[in-house]
Amino acid sequence: MIATMIITLAIMARRLISDARIINITNALNSKKILIVHCKAQDHDVGAGAMSSGEVYSWSFEDVRGVPRGPYWCRLALDDKRLHFLAYLESGYGVGYAVTGYQANETGVYGPDDEHNQWKQIDQFH
């Protein structure tokens, strides 16, 4: 009984100081072109991935309260065009959510616009 209470308290304490975060970037290109994605924070390189249409580039990490993690920036490449955007910031943008999703298409990358309950363009390919 006491052991169960100690384990339960330990789990609850961990939840109070740490939250798992998941970032997803979906290749929503209408063409059969490959989207190159590379995301990293100053202290954590997530790595690069080449995604076909419909595939998702995804990673997760622990966001420990009181210990800033990020920001995470992502660079996307489509043929000879590039863009970069802020994918995660500890509080505020896209941000602080357990799961944050983005979509990339021919015009750019889109993220959640909670105010209007729809997607908004974050950046465009140059």
| pLDDT tens digit sequence for 45-75 | 999 999 999 999 998 877 666 555 678 999 9
| 3 burial level (CB within 10 Å; 0-12, 13-18, 19+) | exposed
Phi, psi of 120 (to 5 degrees): -130, 150
Summarize the confidence of residues 27-43 as an average pLDDT.
92
What residues does each domain of the chain span? 2-124
Determine the pLDDT at residue 55: 96
Q: Is the pLDDT of residue 10 over 50?
A: no
| pLDDT tens digit sequence for 69-97 | 678 999 999 999 999 999 988 754 444 55
Assessment of whether the complete model's pTM goes beyond 0.95: no
Average pLDDT, the chain: 79
Fold of the CATH domain 2-124? Immunoglobulin-like (2.60.40)
